[in-house]
Amino acid sequence: MRWAVDGLDRPVVCDPSCGGGAFLLEAARRTDRLVAIDVDPLAVAVTEAALLLATGRRPVTMVGDALLDEWPAEVDAVVGNPPFLSQLRSATVRDRERAAALGATGYVDESALFLVAAARRAGRVALLQPESVVASAGAAAVREELAGRVERIWVPDRPLFDAAVRVVGVVVGPGGGAVTDWAALLADARGVPEVALADDHGTLGERCTVTAGFRDEYYGLGPFVREGEGAPLITAGLIDPNRCRWGEVPARYGKQRWERPGVVGDRDVVPKVLVATQTRVVEAFADEDGTCVPCTPVISVVPHDLPLRHALAVLLAPPVSAWALRRSVGTALSGDAIKLSAGQVRSIPLPAPSPSWDVAADLLRDGDLVGAGRAMGDAYGCDVLDWWEARLP
């Protein structure tokens, strides 16, 4: 709260999604000029009553949508905890209307729209946001609009809510903000090592074809999946670093449990590396005989002028996990996982050709994951082995 109002003389403070009024009750300790907005009439009434009892004064109130409707007063500062829109929920026509009103396109979390709306109306803003705001593609336009105004990204040292979503506090000022790399601040707070991987020797995508399936492909496999028949169907949960657990542990597909899921019918045999997503380190294994069928969102990496196990060694390199996590921090379903896309995998820098890279490929063939990790640290000239080893499944 003090980040939003300190230094202001009797500021007008607004919570545009006031809920029960907790933020405005705190603001009332510093100013008596308060504005409460919410789409829920009951929330506005509760806030008004709470502030009246606590201060003896009524706030300015409005029942309405702060993203679409005119605010009832000019404000100096905005505080609050705006609603988060689950990425699993389909956007309604109204959601798209609200995003379009603020010039946003594609998926943008509802809370980030409140951040934009607040920054356009007030010189100071302090709003809680889901961690995804610091690095997700959907929030890129938000970060661009606020460039030069973000003074602080506050990272709590513990979860603030019972819900799975983790949050940060974004503090916006009138100008001259020192924060330029939002994701770096969150990564530092999470203890993710800073690594510098130059692409002087090319990227994985320049020497491999990298693809990821789509949702329609996921459901399209359904009629061809059998228990214990056909080519192994590989879900992300069956992939460990340098190991496939198909047939060892059950898998989930199509809302069913499978012991040995297979896909019947003719399929191309393509040797490849299969990569899981939403994992604490990059997890992948080599499908050397090419018979496995990846299940969305598993990513396929097919080398065309790179040995298969050299490609695998790159993906399992400890510096690559640190590099990938720093770029996707906060965007995964778990607050401490790496969210990979095919595009991100393509952009992974390759190390210079070296004996260490060759050694790592041989060690992976022999099942020595940690030894290979150490060798790839040498290949990249970056030692984050202890951090990576502590995160292994």
Segment 197-221, tens digit of pLDDT: 988 999 999 999 999 987 777 888 9
What per-residue confidence (pLDDT) applies to 273? Answer: 98
Distance from C-alpha of 100 to C-alpha of 116, rounded to nearest angstrom = 12
Q: What is the model's pLDDT at position 106?
A: 56
CA distance 15 to 220: 46
- How far, in Å, CA of 357 to CA of 366, rounded? 14
pLDDT value of residue 87: 41
**pLDDT at position 136 over 90:** no
Least confident segment among 30-44, 45-59, 79-93, 99-113: 79-93
Least confident of 75-89, 162-176, 279-293, 296-310: 75-89
Q: Hey, what are 184's tokens?
A: 């770096």
Q: Has this prediction a pTM greater than 0.75?
A: yes
CATH class belonging to 204-391: alpha beta
Whole-angstrom distance, CA of residue 50 vs CA of residue 21 = 7
**pLDDT band (50, 70, 90) for residue 163:** low
All CATH 3.90.220.10 domain ranges in the chain, comma separated:
204-391
Report the percent of the chain where pLDDT is more than 70.
Answer: 93
Residues 303-343: tens digit of each pLDDT: 999 999 999 999 999 999 999 999 888 887 776 899 999 99
Please report, for residues 10, 330, 372, 376, the alpha-carbon distance to residue 357 in angstroms, rounded to integers and kept in the order given: 63, 30, 8, 6
**What does the pLDDT average to over 347-356?**
98
pLDDT at 108: 73
Close Cβ partners of 203 (under 8 Å, ≥ 6 residues apart): 346, 347, 348, 349, 350
pLDDT for 89: 46
CATH 3.40.50.150 segments of the chain = 2-189
Report the pLDDT value the prediction gives residue 239, as an integer from 0 to 100.
Answer: 98
Enumerate residues 6+ apart whose C-beta is below 8 A from 291: 231, 232, 267, 269
Task: Write down the pLDDT at residue 214.
Answer: 78
Interatomic CA distance for residues 244 and 239, integer angstroms: 5
What average pLDDT does range 272-289 have in this prediction? 97
pLDDT at site 178: 84
Q: Residue 103's pLDDT is what?
A: 64
pLDDT tens, residue by residue, 258-278: 999 999 998 889 999 999 999
For 2-189, which CATH class? alpha beta
Better pLDDT: 139 or 304 = 304
Q: What is the mean pLDDT of residues 346-367?
A: 98
Give the separation between CA 330 and CA 56, rounded to whole angstroms: 41
- Region 153-175: mean pLDDT is 82
Helix (H) or strand (E) holding 57: none
What CA–CA distance (Å, rounded) separates 246 from 292?
A: 10
- Residue 366 has a CB neighbour count (10 Å cut-off) of 9
* 105 phi and psi angles, rounded to 5 deg: -130, 160
Predicted confidence band at 99 (pLDDT cuts at 50, 70, 90)?
A: low
What Cα–Cα distance (Å) separates residue 364 from each residue in 27, 38, 69, 375, 392?
58, 57, 59, 11, 15
Banded model confidence at residue 98, pLDDT cuts 50, 70, 90: low
- Sequence-separated (6 or more) residues with CB below 8 Å from residue 124: 3, 4, 5, 8, 11, 76, 77, 78, 171, 172, 173, 174
Q: What pLDDT, on the 0 to 100 scale, is given for residue 57? A: 93
Q: Is the pLDDT of residue 52 over 70?
A: yes
Q: Which helix (H) or strand (E) covers residue 210, if one does? A: strand 208-212
Q: Return the closest-CA partner of residue 379 out of 320, 321, 306, 333.
A: 320
384 pLDDT tier (thresholds 50, 70, 90): very high
Measured distance CA(164)–CA(275) in Å, rounded: 25
What mean pLDDT value characterizes the chain? 91
Q: What is the DSSP annotation of 313-382?
A: HHHT-HHHHHHHHHHHTT-SSSTTSB---HHHHHTPBPPPP-HHHHHHHHHHHTT-HHHHHHHHHHHHT-
Residue 249: DSSP 8-state: B
Distance CA 75, CA 14 (A): 6
Is residue 307 within 8 Å of 360, Cβ to Cβ?
A: no
